[in-house]
Amino acid sequence: MEQRIDRIKKQLHSQSYKLTPQREATVRVLLENEKDHLSAEDVYLLVKEKAPEIGLATVYRTLELLNELEVVDKINFGDGVSRYDLRKEGADHFHHHLVCIECGSVDEIQEDLLGEVEKIVENDWRFKIKDHRLTFHGICYRCHEKQDTGEESGSEVKELN
Amino acid sequence: MEQRIDRIKKQLHSQSYKLTPQREATVRVLLENEKDHLSAEDVYLLVKEKAPEIGLATVYRTLELLNELEVVDKINFGDGVSRYDLRKEGADHFHHHLVCIECGSVDEIQEDLLGEVEKIVENDWRFKIKDHRLTFHGICYRCHEKQDTGEESGSEVKELN
DNA sequence: ATGATAATGATAATAAAAATCACTTTATAA
DNA sequence: TTATAAAGTGATTTTTATTATCATTATCAT
């Protein structure tokens, strides 16, 4: 955690940005909620618990900055809000998502999966790939099992909204 | 074109919706701009040329309806607007996109490409896939060639914004 | 025709994100 | 150290895409 923050700090400095207390608090929230897919508003509320003086605008600016530095990826699952997803350190590709249309859960796939596909795209379409977004919409294993046992589709899994 | 509209009409009727003149005008605009990725506003302006009495709300409602019927797919390339993309007739999967970060052009890949990947996702994650979104961000062949010949990066390709 | 329902258009309401601006903090250089 | 520029912040306003509302109109079944 601390090492991770330290590396982000260096990354900021290398582009002559500073790791201000507000930025650090924001990064900490992202690290502590690595598995979630927080909106700017979500991040704002969480940061406010620890640094109540922070303003929403600063959170937006920080997230924008972290996005430029490729520390986070901005992603949109089709509801109207942008979500910010920490990029795995050293990951050369953005991970994939499974969005459940039943319960709203979002799971991540860290495996590459697209190696072959990207070769085809680069060769056949002469397209130099810099980034990708792959999201599957469907029914997650939890909702499957619920349906199998006749259990109701509840909200034990964190909802998207 | 006419046959296509006729089939959409039947599809609407099968769910007891009507193909009103406004809806037909909207569908025509989508068909006439099949290769583009129009926002609701874009569609509105184009429809207005032919049916000036139409209201923006109706366009939004129609696009929403066509999205439910899977005639169009709502997609978001990361700029703040939703875009509406005609689904190829008979296509059992949503096509993929190549977004150029130089010129903003958006090309489509109709080939499936994800067959193997989806098998893995369904098996390893026990996830029942209903839909997917795959977008690559990078440099398109046109911008490549421009850079090679030292030509400036212009706007002969339709911009995203 | 007539009553019920669906659809429309104008407009207002909502809400996410961006812009503005006065103020504060930090860094730099005399 | 001081002062002077630059960067960053917080409160607020503005912008803009989308949704909701509601009175009016068109359509359909009886």
Q: Which of B33 and B148 is assigned the larger pLDDT?
A: B33
d(CA B145, CA B151): 8
* Contact criterion met (CB < 8 Å) for A98 and B130: no
Give A154's pLDDT tier (boundaries 50, 70, 90): very low
CB A44 within 8 Å of CB A37:
no
Choose among A49, A48, A135, A32: nearest CA to A86. Answer: A32
Question: What stretch of H or E contains B160?
Answer: none
Residues in chain A closer than 8 A to B135 (CB atoms): 132-133
* Contact criterion met (CB < 8 Å) for A130 and B107: no
A97-112 residue pLDDT tens: 999 999 989 999 999 9
Both tokens assigned to A136: 């599957």
Protein CB footprint (7 Å) on chain D nucleotides:
7-12, 16-21, 27-28
Residues in chain B closer than 8 A to A114 (CB atoms): 117
A34-83 residue pLDDT tens: 999 999 999 999 999 999 999 999 999 999 999 999 999 999 998 999 99
B3-44 residue pLDDT tens: 999 999 999 999 999 999 999 999 999 999 999 999 999 999
What does the pLDDT read at residue A147? 65
**% of chain B at pLDDT higher than 90:** 79
Protein CB footprint (7 Å) on chain C nucleotides:
6-11, 15-20, 26-27
Instruction: Return the beta strands (E) in chain B as ranges.
Output: 38-39, 72-76, 82-86, 96-100, 106-109, 128-139
d(CA B44, CA B57): 9
Q: What is the mean pLDDT of residues A118-124?
A: 97
Residue B159 has pLDDT above 70, yes or no: no
Q: Is A112 on the interface with B (CB under 8 A)?
A: no
Nearest CA in chain B to A77: B76
Nearest CA in chain A to B81: A80
Question: What stretch of H or E contains A109?
Answer: strand A106-109
B122-140 residue pLDDT tens: 999 999 999 999 999 999 9
d(CA A37, CA A30): 9
Beta carbons within 10 angstroms of residue B55's beta carbon: 11
Question: What stretch of H or E contains B91?
Answer: none
**What are the Cα distances from residue A80, in Å, to A43, A54, A160, B75, B80?**
16, 24, 11, 11, 9
Question: How many Å is the Cα radius of gyration of chain B?
Answer: 18
